[in-house]
Structure 1
Amino acid sequence: MTSRSPSLTAGASRAGRDRTAAEGWRAFRESPRVLWTALVVIHLAVFLLLLPMMRRGELGGDLPVYSNWATEALGGGIWPVFGYDWVYPAGALVPILLPRVFGPGLYTVVWLVLVAAANGIALQALIRRGRLLRTQTAAGWWVLTVGILAPVDLLRLEGFTAPMVVVGMLFLGSRPRIAGLLLAAATWIKVWPAAVIVAVIVASTRRWVVLATGAAVSAAITLAVVLGGGASHLDSFVNQQNGRPLQIEAPLSTPWLWMSMLGVAGARLFHDSTLITEEVTGPGDAWVVANGTWVMLGVMGALVVLLAIATWRLSRLVHPMGKEVDLVLVGALSLATAFIVFNKVGSPQYMLWLTPIVAVGLVLRPPDWRTPAILLLAVAVLTTLVFPTFYFALIALHPLVLILLAARNALLVVVLGWSVTKLWAAAFVAQPVPLGTRPFGTAVRNTSY
């Protein structure tokens, strides 16, 4: 009869304790109660940080601009879109006007409450879906990105559109009409969810339901604007972007930003008082300013063709319900990222175009979407370091902040490369597979959203 060595027994005991501690920590950080508490703390912390500025009337950023638009419109003045050209689609009037109904003094408070409610709805949708896989990694990731990007997540229009896209994409398989309504409404607030709609139209078997619902939403908004006398301003949000110079945070602006820092003749930063943005100009930028939008549209058009080829090819290899999830997600991410990488305009809130897609990918296809999730966490941290943490240093062309911004933009290119590589593999590289096997990653129980 033999007995275990004391060292082996102690080692096994330590390993058991470590495993128990790890499991306990995972259970704690993935507890819905903990996730909800974290989300509430994030919103409350932002409110408390803004409170002194609100009391002094020194709150900067977009919210005072939104409040002024709402006050003028509801006070009997001229309404955006109805009375003059506007930088946003007509649907943005709803979230901008709604907080003003409760009075000008409560605008910021009501705004934050509404954004908190929107983020809460998205969190609950992710938690509910996460229960199928018995993991709340995606929900936790969503809360973490909300916290990191809080300065823009909670104070810009993307604070509404990002949660709408999360819920819309999760509803695509089970409630396609609601999905179409949410995605169309989000697009009429900010244009970027159109990337998701295009991916759905190309790759999803629910395309006709989403199209019909989206068309109905668009028709209702268009009719309201036309009846209100704003027909000539309905598409002004598109025209407002034409001819715009390079905004300093756009990836395309990187060479001219560095030219300005290095003192190259003719390269400089300037403030656009109309759009309240910082722009950059310099030698050789005229072609990019004139043709940048067309280059962006060309790249996105090529991605749509690639997505269509992948959809056609994989429809001959696998069951549609087993492949469309992957193609919609990867197609949406590639289009949204290209929208950022090849855009003359660049703002920190644009990162919120990507987080909803990755959150949904992480809850539906956890193994496949771990890489872009990690990359976007780094993107989020670098974005917040640039704005608002060191934004004045960026305007002063501090080299270290320029390096942070360049690193953030490089990571965006990596995210784009990841998604394009997946599309390319689906379109041209993937080998024939048995019916029901997915082309990306490992299977999960619910492959139809």
Structure 2
Amino acid sequence: MERRRLLLVLAAAWLATRVLMLWLLAHDSLGILGGRVGREVWRLYHHWYGVLAHGAFPAHDTLWQYPPGAGLVLLSPGVLPWWTYFESFVALTVLSDSVIAYVLARAGTRPGRTLAGAAVWVGGLPLLVRVPFARYDVQVTALAVVSLLALSRSTRACGAFAALGALVKVWPALVLVGVPRGRDSRSVWASAALGGTSLLLLLVFAFRNPLAFLRQQGGRGVQIESLGGTLLSLARHVGWRGRVRYQYGAMEFTGPYVPSVAHASLALTVVAFGVLLLWRIRARRWTEAVPYDAALSAVLLFTVTSRVISPQYMIWLLGLVAVCLTSRHTTQRPVAALILASTALSAVIYPVLYAEVIACTWTGTGLMVLRNGMLLAAAALSFVRLWRASTVRAPESAGSCPQTLRESPTPASL
């Protein structure tokens, strides 16, 4: 009865907060909100929809920087022709949000699980105000969340959803980093490879220029909201003469040393990959929470070392934090607090005080130092806690059987 009451509270909270988010999106032009965020959908996404509907990817558009699977998401509003493109896109985004809330709540009702994950998603997403409904990152996050929560029931489904997510926005491939070694790992990766290859071949034959995004990705610089961008923003206050310019769909720094900062970011991403590989080799203990914790840690490491940290990246982290908190064995609760605080601050940075960030004022720079400092702390804390929990064998009690390296999760439907 208590659990049913909690589910009703979560459902009511989801409905109330989403209605408020939709109202704010509908009144996007209100000055107090800091600027219009919906034009990404009704101008840019809609334009790409027109190109994709004619069987081609926008090959010569420098703003197109997404894997070919993204085309399917941008074409999806066409299934609701009785609405405008904007209305259909938002409706499908809200539907994806509800799927995430549902699977988290369903997972939280399993024996030994908790509804904390669903609560974090329901209460955490509104911290970004209306931005989540004006980007397609909720759909991508849904694929990653479903992939992780499917692991205990179907390794094939886990791999397939992760592959689909990776073809839409790359990062969901990282959710597989913590899959236990052995048969489960082979099954998941085989399913991901088969599913991803099949869909990619389908897109290659169905559309022209499916790999055009690689050219635009290679030309990107250092976005002002990234960790490297924060360093350059601080440098502006001690005499560095760089400038901020709109290019490749983001506000980026230009000037001396910017290429060096971009190369350093890429080098740190390689280091992050090496650190994760080392953890994978050294890991000895797998509980039901380890795949979840590893996914969050991996995405955090790749986020803080990226040349770009857009506000919608926080949607990914919220989804992965929520998955972690469905398990009572997670090591990531302190990390969750840092990510929630970072998410709330991100909504202040963009769009409310984004002009301050662009101008590199002390206010804008201070906000970026605080937000990115919390993300950096979250990444370090996440990995350290993951390492300590999974690389050291549990002590064996005298006269007792050795503890197994992997605890089998209780099968249950999502």
Q: TM-score, normalised by structure 1?
A: 0.80
Residue equivalent to 2:321? 358
Residue equivalent to 2:143? 164
Written as runs of structure 1 = structure 2, the 5 A alignment for 1:75-114 is 76=54, 79-80=56-57, 86-103=64-81, 106-114=84-92
Shift of 1:381: 0.7
Q: Does 1:178 align with 2:157?
A: yes
Written as runs of structure 1 = structure 2, the 5 A alignment for 1:21-100 is 31-52=6-27, 60-63=38-41, 64-74=43-53, 76=54, 79-80=56-57, 86-100=64-78
> Match of 1:279, SS?
strand
Shift of 1:433: 4.1
Answer with 354-363 or 326-335: which moved more: 326-335
> Match of 2:312, SS?
helix
Shift of 1:302: 2.4
Contact kept, 8 Å, 1:355 with 1:376, in 2: the verdict is yes
The unaligned stretches of length 5 or more in structure 1 are: 1-23, 315-322
> Match of 1:344, SS?
coil
Q: Cα deviations across residues 71-122 of structure 1 (Å, max 9, x unaligned)?
A: 2333x4x621688784111111111111145449622221222112112122
Q: Cα deviations across residues 176-203 of structure 1 (Å, max 9, x unaligned)?
A: 2222221111111111111112333x64
Q: Does 1:246 align with 2:222?
A: yes
Residue equivalent to 1:332? 295
Q: Distance in 1 between matches of 2:144 and 2:333?
A: 20
Q: Distance in 2 between matches of 1:345 and 1:89?
A: 16
Residue equivalent to 2:33? none
Residue equivalent to 2:307? 344
1:166 corresponds to which letter in structure 2?
Answer: V
Q: Distance in 2 between matches of 1:134 and 1:225?
A: 39
Q: When the two structures are aligned, how many residues end up with a matched partner?
A: 401
Percent identity of the aligned residues? 27
Is the alpha carbon distance of 1:439 and 1:419 closer, same or farther for their aligned partners in structure 2, counting shifts above 3 Å?
farther
1:79 corresponds to which letter in structure 2?
Answer: A
Aligned pair partner of 1:257 in 233, 237, 240:
233
> Match of 2:134, SS?
coil
Q: Distance in 2 between matches of 1:94 and 1:257?
A: 37
Written as runs of structure 1 = structure 2, the 5 A alignment for 1:274-293 is 275-293=248-266
Contact kept, 8 Å, 2:332 with 2:385, in 1: the verdict is no
Shift of 1:269: 1.2
Residue equivalent to 1:208? 186
> Which structure's residues are more often helix, by fraction?
1
1:253 corresponds to which letter in structure 2?
Answer: G
Contact kept, 8 Å, 1:168 with 1:179, in 2: the verdict is yes
Written as runs of structure 1 = structure 2, the 5 A alignment for 1:92-171 is 92-103=70-81, 106-131=84-109, 132-133=111-112, 135-171=114-150
Q: Distance in 1 between matches of 2:402 and 2:66?
A: 43
Q: Distance in 1 between matches of 2:129 and 2:303?
A: 20
Q: Does 1:196 align with 2:175?
A: yes
Contact kept, 8 Å, 1:372 with 1:415, in 2: the verdict is yes
Say which structure, 1 or 2, has more relative contact order (CA 8 Å, 6+ apart): 2
CA RMSD across the alignment = 3.1
Contact kept, 8 Å, 1:127 with 1:136, in 2: the verdict is yes
Is the alpha carbon distance of 1:347 and 1:436 closer, same or farther for their aligned partners in structure 2, counting shifts above 3 Å?
farther
Contact kept, 8 Å, 2:141 with 2:315, in 1: the verdict is yes
> Match of 2:313, SS?
helix
2:278 corresponds to which letter in structure 1?
Answer: V
Q: Distance in 1 between matches of 2:113 and 2:320?
A: 20
1:259 corresponds to which letter in structure 2?
Answer: A
Aligned pair partner of 1:296 in 260, 265, 269:
269
2:140 corresponds to which letter in structure 1?
Answer: T
1:258 corresponds to which letter in structure 2?
Answer: L
